[in-house]
Amino acid sequence: SGSEGDSRPDPGSRASPARFWGRPERSTTTPCKALLSKEAPPASKTRRRLVLMNHRSLTYDPGTAARLGAAIRYLWVFQGHLTEGLKVSKEILRLGDGVPATARWKLLSMACNLAKYQGDYETARRMYEEGLSGGRSARDLPQISLSCRGLGGLAHEQGDCTTARRFMDEALAVARESNDKFGIARSLSLLGDLARSLGDDAAAGPLYEDALAICRQLGNKYATANILTNLAAAEFGEGNYTAAYSHFTEGLTMHRESGDEIIGGKIDISYALDGLAALAVLRGETELAAKLAGAADHLRESINYNIDPAERRFRDGYLASLRAGLSDDDFSRAYGQGRKLKLDEGVALALGQKAS
């Protein structure tokens, strides 16, 4: 479930605090390209300098403040400065007509995610609805689709599956109308997540397969790795363990080879660790499964991520089987060992390889 190919972060992302489905297009604005180039200063220093410039511009030049905020919005996500990002974005958005429309939308779509990831659902809903209203007024189909995904994802997290499906269906229809391939894949994947959370893995599988085919065609490796993990979980639920193993390991390997340090990649890795733990339970390798479960939990906690409904159902299922096959002491020992693993050590253990 990430970031849009047109550089817009996806509000329908399932992750918290920040799951962006794919890499943003870093060349969309000159400031953003310069910030992320190899010659740029360290990202943390760059962010601090620009935040200071932004605060000065809030009083003297709202337009500059908005453009600076739009340029550095991904640094807030990549580095985990979510509270700062939401605070500054709110300050800029309050400037009203002084904010250029394009910059306003970029900040609004980011702030929606940040508010949701920090548990401020009312703010998130209000911002998503503003984005949807603006998209309808401008007949901006990609914005309409993205905002619907945001509202659908929010409703799903809050357990309102009827509302979630309504928004997701609209998002898919609008994406198809505008021939937004990435938006189509994104909407299909969200519908797959919804089906899985309701226990319908059979319905989720074809949705993920269609989304996967589109992302492979687009060459979006990050999104491809994400969907592979989702598809594998659905295949596991259907008892197709060979395919599940193949797709869990392919997705995890893709993330490992990419060297991603962004939060969304870490969340995907945690889900793949859970998936390979579940398969280890089936093989009777309960100690390995407990270690992977500990590694997955520790990774999510390190980024303050709250597991989503579909993954919670998957995790609860395999953990119940695991706890039945291990004594409390043996589980606690192996689980604790897994929690102490570094990221590359946990991934290597899951893949049966040596840590780099």
Task: Say how many Å lie between the first and final Cα of the chain, rounded.
Answer: 28
- The residues, any chain, with a CB within 8 Å of residue 115's CB and separated by 6 or more, are 86, 121, 123, 124, 127
356 vs 352: CA distance, rounded Å: 12
> Contacts from 126-132 at CB under 8 Å and sequence distance 24+?
128/11, 128/154, 131/11, 131/105
Residue-wise pLDDT tens digits, 157-210: 889 999 999 999 999 999 999 999 999 999 999 999 999 999 999 999 999 999
Contact 9, 114 (CB under 8 A): no
**Is 90 exceeded by the pLDDT of residue 98?**
no
Exposed, middle or buried: residue 59 (CB in 10 Å: 0-12, 13-18, 19+)?
A: exposed
Contact 216, 225 (CB under 8 A): no
Task: Name the band, by pLDDT with cuts 50, 70 and 90, for residue 16.
Answer: very low
Residue-wise pLDDT tens digits, 223-260: 999 999 999 999 999 999 999 999 999 999 998 887 65
Can you state the percent helix, strand and coil of the chain, rounding each to 5? 75, 0, 25
Phi then psi for 9, rounded to 5 degrees? -70, 145
Average pLDDT over residues 123-131: 89
Spatial CA neighbour of 191 closest among 160, 226, 149 = 149
Distances (CA, A) of 74 to 8, 36, 67, 124: 10, 10, 13, 18
Distances (CA, A) of 205 to 81, 187, 243: 35, 14, 12
Q: How many CB atoms lie within 10 A of CB 195?
A: 22
Phi then psi for 121, rounded to 5 degrees? -70, -35
129 vs 108: CA distance, rounded Å: 11
Q: What pLDDT does 40 receive?
A: 41
Phi then psi for 41, rounded to 5 degrees? -65, 165
Residue-wise pLDDT tens digits, 45-78: 555 555 555 555 555 566 777 777 777 676 666 6
Q: What pLDDT does 44 receive?
A: 53
Phi then psi for 60, rounded to 5 degrees? -100, -25
Spatial CA neighbour of 154 closest among 175, 136, 132 = 132
Instruction: Report the chain's mean pLDDT, rounded to a whole number.
Output: 81
